[in-house]
């Protein structure tokens, strides 16, 4: 698969409300960041798959700004399919181990995945 196909597949998935990731056909490794070769075994035999989007905060930090409402929480979220991804958690606070779920937001005309506390009623 070419990188452009992978990238297009990711944005198509975001548009459908799905969180895509890549699974290596060579060694089974799952990863999020779009690449056309497996970072573990260098195989190009990759397949797009869709995650449940329900994960746990693996690590997080709040970047403090003057406006507390605009102080983002940067996090690494671990998904049950076996991969981790860098993301933002949309919440007032987050702790390691918190259950979070994917939510999609438009940023400068494109849809991107973010996370929020699991079961949060906000859209």
Tokens at 20, concatenated:
């895509």
> Contact region for Zn ion (CB under 5 A) — 39-47, 75-83, 91-99, 115-123?
39-47
Rounded to whole angstroms, what are the CA distances from 39 to 5, 30, 55, 120?
A: 18, 10, 22, 34
Cα–Cα dist 105/5, whole Å: 22
* Residue closest to 120 by CA, chosen among 97, 96, 99, 105: 99
40 binds Zn ion, rule: CB under 5 A: yes
Q: Considering the rule CB under 5 A, would residue 36 count as an interface residue with Zn ion?
A: no
CB of residue 38 to Zn ion, shortest distance in Å: 3
CB of 27 to Zn ion, least distance (A): 3
Under a CB-based contact definition with an 8 Å cutoff, are residues 57 and 100 in contact? Answer: yes
Segment lying near Zn ion (by CB under 5 A), choices 36-44, 51-59, 93-101, 107-115: 36-44
Site residues (vs Zn ion, CB under 5 A): 24, 26-27, 29, 38, 40-41, 43
């Amino acid at each position: 698969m070419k990188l452009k196909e992978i990238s297009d597949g990711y944005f198509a998935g975001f548009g459908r409300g799905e969180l895509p990731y890549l699974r290596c056909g060579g060694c089974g490794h799952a990863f999020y960041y779009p690449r056309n070769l497996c970072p573990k075994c260098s195989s190009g035999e990759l397949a797009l798959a869709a995650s449940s989007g329900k994960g746990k905060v693996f690590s997080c930090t709040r970047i403090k700004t003057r406006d507390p409402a605009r102080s983002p929480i940067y996090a690494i979220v671990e998904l049950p399919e076996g991969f981790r991804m860098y993301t933002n958690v949309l919440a007032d606070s987050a702790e390691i181990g918190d259950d979070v779920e994917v939510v999609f937001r438009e940023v400068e005309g494109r849809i991107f995945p973010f996370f929020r506390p699991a079961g949060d009623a906000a859209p």
